[in-house]
Amino acid sequence: MIERDEFIRRFGGVFEHSPFIAERAYDQGLVCEPLTAKGVHAALCEVFRAAGSDERLGVLRAHPDLAGKLAVAGDLTEDSRKEQAGAGLDRLSEAEHAEFTKLNTAYIDKFGFPFIIAVSGLDKDDILAAFRRRIENPADAEKADACQQVEKIAEIRLKALLSE
């Protein structure tokens, strides 16, 4: 069986800046070997869904703005940097960057957490379209959507980590 510290080292960042999810999954005996993306994802999502509302909100708030200040400053996690670059968010025109900044600000003002979307397979136009559509959602629907996106991001990261 994988040791606790090794499991947390490998999977503690799958949910952005939220190692408590990997810690609890391990401590609750939800981790089974062989480690597969599907199995680890199920364990981590079970913990995420069982977490308190404030903890889930903390996970949402741990995500960076898309094409935001952290990206400009180069302070994203390596996973976030690669994901945003893969969607072309590191190559925005000045006007596109201004639109992302405006939408990020309005979204955070409305919902209290950054816009979250699994960008894998999307380009900047797809992301902007989703951004414009989802900013119109009611708060409870958008929080549920953001949580689903967090789980999807975790799945993509796990598949990369476990080469599946």
Q: What pLDDT digit, counting tens, does each position of 9-45 carry?
A: 999 999 999 999 999 999 999 999 999 999 999 999 9
Q: How many CB atoms lie within 10 A of CB 64?
A: 21
pLDDT at res. 89: 76
pLDDT the model gives residue 70: 43
Helix ranges (H only) for the chain are: 4-11, 20-27, 37-50, 53-61, 69-73, 78-86, 94-111, 124-134, 139-161
Active-site residue flag, 63: yes
Could you give the percent of the chain with pLDDT greater than 90? 71
Q: Give the pLDDT confidence score for residue 75 in this predicted structure.
A: 56
Check residue 84 and give its pLDDT.
Answer: 72
Q: Pick the closest to residue 47 from 63, 64, 31 (CA basis).
A: 31
Mean pLDDT, the chain, as a whole number?
Answer: 90
At 73 the pLDDT is: 45
Q: For position 141, what pLDDT does the model report?
A: 97
Q: pLDDT under 50 in the chain at which residues?
A: 70, 73
pLDDT of amino acid 96: 87
Dist CA 43 CA 142 (whole Å): 24
Q: Which CATH class is domain 64-149?
A: mainly alpha
| pLDDT, position 76 | 57
